[in-house]
Amino acid sequence: DVGFCVFEMKFEGDRAVDYRFIEVNPAFERLTGLADAEGRWMRDLAPAHEQYWFDVYGQVARTGEPFRGENHAQALGRWYDVHAYRVGELGENRVAALFNDISERKVAEAALRESEARFRLIADSAPVPMWMTRLDRTREFANRAYVEFLGLPYEEALAFDWRHIIHPDDIARIYAEQVGNEAALKPFTLEARYRNAAGHYRWIRSESQPRWDANGEHAGFVGVAYDVTIAKQSELELQAQVEERTAELRQAQKMEAVGQLTGGIAHDFNNLLTPIMGSLDILRRRLGSEDARAQRTIDTALQATERAATLVQRLLAFARRQDLQARAVDVADLLAGMDDLLARSLGASVRVAIDAPTAL
């Protein structure tokens, strides 16, 4: 599988211009496509053969320093891994070469590079951060949006620890969720506030899923992130509105229950006041003006029942959710009307004195 040949270098001045094959092994023709090469010059076999090869082999022949390297022989349409070294006596300018055809590997490498370049172009064109991690959680790839979010050079962005820019209120939760989800080896979503290069916190929703190598072994994770700040703010505002409306509903239900209770009490109280007021009115008419003291007592009682009736009407208005109409009250007159009632209720041992300005 390894090609071998010995050849003699031809120089013009200090420059190697050709070489003639002295010996080749059976694999030589298969690996080079050159038939009957022994005794023939390379320029005759492949006129377009690159000068690079003559220069390399000429250096080996003149200095005796061996060469090991890979290069493309375009005239032969192949890539070679070559180990060349000087043989024979000094001045014979002979070189031996061992070589392998690595064209398939080089084509595969070129295809891989092209694929990686296409992937990089697509990833860098995406407006959202994208990344790929290894098993140890270090990142081996990140796209342009990822790097721009951090505002760091590419290599520094790959090595950056995201925990340094997660909002303090989110870091414990996010770290616990990440560790648990990664251990499960299933796709997962995280949502937290991250500080961008401008120093502003943004709500970021990241979606990650495990990736596998050619042998089906877990190799890390691939992820993408979206800025959901506006949606999150709308969600929080909606949640606040729902909580506010819920509180208002609870308060309305509470007030409705209180109103129903108040209405029932007011009706019962009104049923008690009506016969009392009627009886006092009848009693006042029957007594006439014969007993002034009794009349004052009845008038005081009637005033009290009228105030109670007014209170009942207010309670009913509250129960029916009617607007209460405020009006001015003469406080001094109100207190004076209660003077006689208080004096009788408290007894002779207690003196009641009312000191209220008339304009109060």
Look at the chain and report how many structural domains it folds into.
3
Per-residue pLDDT, 341: 58
Read off the pLDDT of residues 112-132 as tens digits, 9 standing for 90 and up.
Answer: 999 999 999 999 999 999 999
Per-residue pLDDT, 289: 64
How much is the average pLDDT of 105-112?
A: 93
* pLDDT confidence bin for 233, thresholds 50/70/90: confident
Among the candidates 201, 227, 253, a domain finishes at 227
159: domain CATH number is 3.30.450.20
Percentage of residues in the chain with pLDDT exceeding 70? 86
Report if residue 101 sits inside a domain. Answer: yes
Among the candidates 181, 197, 227, a domain finishes at 227
How much is the average pLDDT of 206-235?
A: 93
Per-residue pLDDT, 359: 64
216 and 242 both lie in a single domain: no
How much is the average pLDDT of 189-214?
A: 95
Residue of higher predicted confidence among 109 and 284:
109
How much is the average pLDDT of 191-202?
A: 95
- pLDDT at residue 267 tops 90: no
82 and 176 both lie in a single domain: no
Per-residue pLDDT, 273: 72
Per-residue pLDDT, 353: 76
Residue of higher predicted confidence among 331 and 58:
58
Report if residue 341 sits inside a domain. Answer: no
Percentage of residues in the chain with pLDDT exceeding 90? 61
Which structural domain, as residue segments, surrounds residue 211? 126-227
- pLDDT at residue 351 tops 60: yes
- pTM, rounded to two decimals: 0.53
Residue of higher predicted confidence among 70 and 273:
70
> Average pLDDT over the chain, rounded to whole?
87
End-to-end CA distance of the chain: 121
11 and 96 both lie in a single domain: yes
- pLDDT at residue 360 tops 80: no
Report if residue 213 sits inside a domain. Answer: yes
Residue of higher predicted confidence among 236 and 182:
182
Among the candidates 227, 244, 259, a domain finishes at 227
Report if residue 334 sits inside a domain. Answer: no
Report if residue 335 sits inside a domain. Answer: no
Per-residue pLDDT, 261: 75
- pLDDT at residue 194 tops 70: yes
Per-residue pLDDT, 33: 94
Report if residue 14 sits inside a domain. Answer: yes
* Least confident among 37-41, 136-140, 228-232, 345-349: 345-349
How much is the average pLDDT of 151-179?
A: 94
Report if residue 118 sits inside a domain. Answer: no
Residue of higher predicted confidence among 232 and 132:
132
102 and 19 both lie in a single domain: yes
